[in-house]
Homo-oligomer: A and B are copies of this chain.
């Protein structure tokens, strides 16, 4: 890109950076015309989703490496395709950036985007670019799922078991590590999860193929905000058990010994992160008791954990050890709060 900043040049750069990913994507006509053309697969429905990724709202330029911005902007949008039990096919990138970022920052952004595009088998089909004072990203992902096989949020039934994949709160803990300026390795799992989340595509497609979930969604804003959405769509309630929620390990630096130890307040933090931390992109799904027996404890190394039960009564309750069952406060991420 260098010093050439005309729109035509940026479009050429984007095309070169992403067009080679994926071959069976169905893109008949890619970047460069008025619109892209996509050949849908017979017997499939098209999944459509779009996601904002905005500087100062969803990422901070001084904190987040540009390649992580590129990776995450696509990965989080693809997570919505996974949540339907589908496969990503291609994406559109709407991109606005300040003039002074068209050099090195853009190169690294495109490098992260390209890596995600290849890893998720989801090539660029088109987009729109312009100049702005801040980086604005909007990504539309087009996916596919076999007809009538999409897994909705709205089909959970009383008695269904509630499951989550992975460890919850890990991405939010990664963000805290990043903000805390602690000298941490780039490969720390929590940091990696915050910067380079991997949507649970393989797991979601396996679950959909096995027809196991009655309802499914991805956890983007935090369990305490997302579980009520699934319950509202299904017109049901839920009880979850704090002790059962798979939590990120939250070590604490002991200053004197320079070692890591877990204190009581740390377990509070782990639960808080697991309930309210955003950006995990794990799956939240419900399974009937009869089918739950067929669910393994993990899938390709990703743990699958039952954390509670769907209830007829439309409240969301949290059971804590040595405590009464109480309503779960919605404290996940909401830009309008």
Chain A residues proximal to chain B, CB less than 8 Å? 5-10, 28-29, 32-40, 42, 44-52, 54, 57, 80-81, 83-84, 86, 90, 92, 94, 96, 99, 125-132, 136, 138, 140-143, 145, 147, 150, 152-154, 217-218, 229, 233, 334-337
Q: Which of A32, A141, A217 has the most CB of B within 10 A?
A: A32
How many angstroms between the C-alpha atoms of A46 and B131 in the bound complex?
Answer: 29
Whether B336 and A154, one on each chain, are in contact in the complex, defined by CB atoms closer than 8 angstroms, is no
Residues of B close to A131: CB separation below 8 A: 57, 335-336
Could you tell me the distance in whole angstroms from the C-beta of A224 to the nearest C-beta in chain B? 14
How many angstroms between the C-alpha atoms of A136 and B35 in the bound complex?
Answer: 21
How many angstroms between the C-alpha atoms of A49 and B29 in the bound complex?
Answer: 12
Q: Given A46-B40, A54-B130, is A35 in contact with B5 using a C-beta cutoff of 8 Å?
A: no
Whether A45 and B38, one on each chain, are in contact in the complex, defined by CB atoms closer than 8 angstroms, is yes
**8 Å CB contact of A33 from B8, B29, B34, B153:** B153
Whether B34 and A84, one on each chain, are in contact in the complex, defined by CB atoms closer than 8 angstroms, is yes
Whether B154 and A33, one on each chain, are in contact in the complex, defined by CB atoms closer than 8 angstroms, is yes
Q: Given A54-B96, A335-B130, is A49 in contact with B37 using a C-beta cutoff of 8 Å?
A: no
**8 Å CB contact of A127 from B42, B50, B233:** B50
Whether A126 and B49, one on each chain, are in contact in the complex, defined by CB atoms closer than 8 angstroms, is yes
Q: How many chain copies? A: 2
Whether B96 and A35, one on each chain, are in contact in the complex, defined by CB atoms closer than 8 angstroms, is no
**8 Å CB contact of A48 from B35, B130, B229, B334:** B35
Residues of B close to A46: CB separation below 8 A: 37-40, 46, 142
Whether B154 and A51, one on each chain, are in contact in the complex, defined by CB atoms closer than 8 angstroms, is no
Cross-chain pairs A/B with CB under 8 angstroms, 27 sampled: A6-B334, A7-B336, A33-B152, A33-B153, A34-B49, A34-B217, A35-B49, A35-B83, A35-B84, A35-B141, A36-B49, A37-B45, A38-B45, A39-B46, A40-B40, A40-B44, A46-B46, A48-B126, A50-B94, A50-B138, A51-B128, A52-B94, A52-B96, A57-B131, A57-B132, A128-B138, A130-B336
Residues of B close to A229: CB separation below 8 A: 8
Could you tell me the distance in whole angstroms from the C-beta of A316 to the nearest C-beta in chain B? 14
How many angstroms between the C-alpha atoms of A140 and B38 in the bound complex?
Answer: 14
Residues of B close to A45: CB separation below 8 A: 28, 37-40
Residues of B close to A334: CB separation below 8 A: 6-7
Q: Given A33-B152, A57-B130, A83-B35, is A336 in contact with B5 using a C-beta cutoff of 8 Å?
A: yes
Whether B130 and A35, one on each chain, are in contact in the complex, defined by CB atoms closer than 8 angstroms, is no
Apart from A33-B84, A52-B130, A131-B335, what 9 extra A-B contacts exist at CB < 8 Å?
A: A34-B84, A35-B49, A37-B45, A39-B147, A40-B46, A46-B46, A48-B142, A50-B92, A50-B127
